[in-house]
Structure 1
């Protein structure tokens, strides 16, 4: 059963170790407008330029007053009104209340904001009508409660999402220093492949893996570059590999099994390369190859200098992905994406698995000793007390693009399990 092959866990840890090493080799940086920073990896820290909030701020519409006066059920005259965006009064006069809107600065001397619902207003006076106790600092966010001037709020390596962009904007950052996206060369192999816009002849298929991998790379934060398709000859593959010198990562699709025309591993061996593993105990994706090749002596194809290590041009991580699209996508998510994340400068490199409940039993008996990553569809629901439900998508092998397009995740079935019953808790990897 291939006892000499690494398990999924062993291969994943090896890749993670290599990713952590590569993460020390920070890429070049560039400045981008804040509006263009979504999905980018931060290269320079974002620090608070002022206390946040910069003033004591009301979190409710109501009346700012003193706890002692509000709690005594006194009738308090309303001395004024402050909207959000207006300057507060110098101080709250003793024995008075101040009408205040959500987000407005709280006048000095006030130590609570009583919500509108808890008071009765007649003319220019209010009276507390609720029996509940009013607490000090109620409905007030103190000046500097969220952060202080100079605090580092976002560290280098942070992926910029909507929340991070909003935080940077609140600190006055119109532009951000981010890492340059890693260039990922995509090489598909096979005599059977024709361009997407061609009509396949007998025995031919359109090249779907190249655009699929390009989409995966772009979504993962890389800059995809599709190389010309290589024919199933050693010479063609050697020539194609020499085009990858300016890439930060090389993905090769196809040519990694044990057939007569599976030529990737021998081609890598002819280069200055190091192979970390060939084949792992997973399904689909068993023939995966992971290694590195030296960039010296290769011909330039991507017209941008790549980063260099401490001792010259850095080696290029290379993945030999299986040619079937589901296998290729699964192994990209599981193994190539962590390396891409590390080279992108991200602090988050591991695949994110989540728990789900299997809604129906699996009817496929797996080969023993293989961890399986099966295409499935996860249905999320409105309940906060239930796990999402997931069911396998009917598929006809790892070349079934229709099934893959209908799926949104992979269900993980451990190598010591066969079929699983409905209701089983499983890990899933969303894609």
Structure 2
């Protein structure tokens, strides 16, 4: 390595000859640079006559097409950064966030649940429109307390009282009823004693007690919901409250799902011992639909270049492409070859997680794609961590969340450091304790089906004792 070439060198020959420790440092720096420049930077796959090579686990990136150079080593090597999962997720959000907002459509309110709002929603009047009681009791003048008061009327929700409350008077009032003019306090029934047509209370004067003032929730014309929020049940209730019979939402993205591999057969086929049924297409379709997308299973791509390319070109009609399998380093993992020849750009091709290390994210012919590992649990986990965020963004959602909740371990847990590990587990009914399940690895769907969370083991910590707190990710 020439003097002064490290660190930060652009001399690819020097990088290739560098010790493993320096290659690791370079990869970490590349990861940071990728995140900082994610709005403008990508990596183009190498042309067909370049074959990616790896030098053990220390090599954290694969060959990519570099700028033209007279250096033969520079023509062979360029790096796509390997990222921790938090950074990889942020790269996905940053890149997909640059895409234009999707088209909109208008729906009846009853069909808008769980869609993403595409217009601001404003209050059509003050809320509440008048001062309301928030307790069953008596509307009174605070200056008359404590004392004996004469009950002159009864007022239920939906009714009005047209004359002011006078000195020494009280109006029996129900929760939600408008507070009559002149009254500035509500005394709960529990604080009164009935004596014929009168009540007696020792409640002290507290103006405003148990009264929800006019406009205290929202003022007329105030923006209550911004575009980009998902319409859960509370937001649907708000839309109904302000009289929105029809609502503008973003169109649901079409998501192409393309499992790959000769070993994958349709669900209705009896598999041989060396085959597996196409579970990934069904799990991904369910995850896509749950998140608001329209799943489209394109087919099963066999391990031939022409068939894989034909199906992938079909999939380019969708808004997002999910490839399952074919992204590792096996002899017949052809997806990267096809993507390369279609001119794909990569933002990352490995993430420091387990399962799901060889996860690919990029763009081809203007469409974002994920190459998800073929083992079923890897596919499920990597969709949850990365593809779900892309799908939410393509649907116009801007409030992206991935809650990692704390829970106490019921048993010791140990793993190999270096990658964040997502392990199937059971969270207790009250959400306070988590139990790791017996798990045979990323093909073990049985364990994941029994789990209700993934235990999240940090990459830099090896073991936890029973009773210690660890994070969990809800399925």
TM over 0.5: yes
Distance in 2, Cα, partners of 1:91 & 1:123? 22
Query: Does the 8 A contact of 1:358 with 1:389 survive in 2?
Result: yes
Distance in 1, Cα, partners of 2:314 & 2:205? 72
> Could you give the per-residue CA deviations for residues 259-303 of structure 1, whole angstroms, max 9, x where no partner exists?
111111111001021011112221100111111010xxxxxxxxx
Distance in 2, Cα, partners of 1:198 & 1:134? 78
Query: Does the 8 A contact of 1:192 with 1:203 survive in 2?
Result: yes
Secondary structure of the 2:463 match is: coil
Moved over 3 A (4+): none
1:138 is the counterpart of 2:138: no
1:177 is aligned to: 248
Secondary structure of the 1:403 match is: helix
Query: Does the 8 A contact of 1:53 with 1:142 survive in 2?
Result: yes
List aligned pairs for 1:9-408, cutoff 5 A.
9-22=86-99, 25-71=100-146, 73=147, 75-128=148-201, 130=202, 132-294=203-365, 315-363=366-414, 365-366=415-416, 368-381=417-430, 388-408=432-452
1:2 is aligned to: 58
Distance in 2, Cα, partners of 1:332 & 1:134? 59
Distance in 2, Cα, partners of 1:275 & 1:423? 42
Distance in 1, Cα, partners of 2:344 & 2:400? 24
| Aligned counterpart for 2:466 among listed residues 403, 422, 429 | 422
2:455 is aligned to: 411
Query: Does the 8 A contact of 1:16 with 1:350 survive in 2?
Result: no
Offset at residue 204 of structure 1 (A): 1.9
Distance in 2, Cα, partners of 1:2 & 1:233? 30
Offset at residue 420 of structure 1 (A): 1.9
1:384 is aligned to: none
Secondary structure of the 2:351 match is: coil
Offset at residue 357 of structure 1 (A): 1.8
Secondary structure of the 2:465 match is: coil
1:299 is aligned to: none
Distance in 2, Cα, partners of 1:134 & 1:27? 56
Query: Does the 8 A contact of 1:284 with 1:330 survive in 2?
Result: yes
Secondary structure of the 1:21 match is: coil
Distance in 1, Cα, partners of 2:84 & 2:131? 56
Q: Which moved more, 1:9-18 or 1:136-145?
A: 9-18
Q: Which runs of 5+ in 2 are unaligned?
A: 1-56, 61-81
Distance in 2, Cα, partners of 1:135 & 1:419? 57
Query: Does the 8 A contact of 1:265 with 1:289 survive in 2?
Result: no
Secondary structure of the 1:168 match is: helix
> Could you give the per-residue CA deviations for residues 301-329 of structure 1, whole angstroms, max 9, x where no partner exists?
xxxxxxxxxxxxxx111000001111001
CA gap of 1:423–1:20, structure 2 versus 1, over 3 A, is farther
Q: Which moved more, 1:30-39 or 1:147-156?
A: 30-39
Q: Which runs of 5+ in 1 are unaligned?
A: 295-314, 382-386
CA gap of 1:19–1:411, structure 2 versus 1, over 3 A, is farther
Offset at residue 184 of structure 1 (A): 0.7
Distance in 2, Cα, partners of 1:280 & 1:182? 25
Offset at residue 3 of structure 1 (A): 5.2
Distance in 2, Cα, partners of 1:10 & 1:266? 26
Offset at residue 13 of structure 1 (A): 2.7
Distance in 2, Cα, partners of 1:32 & 1:246? 25
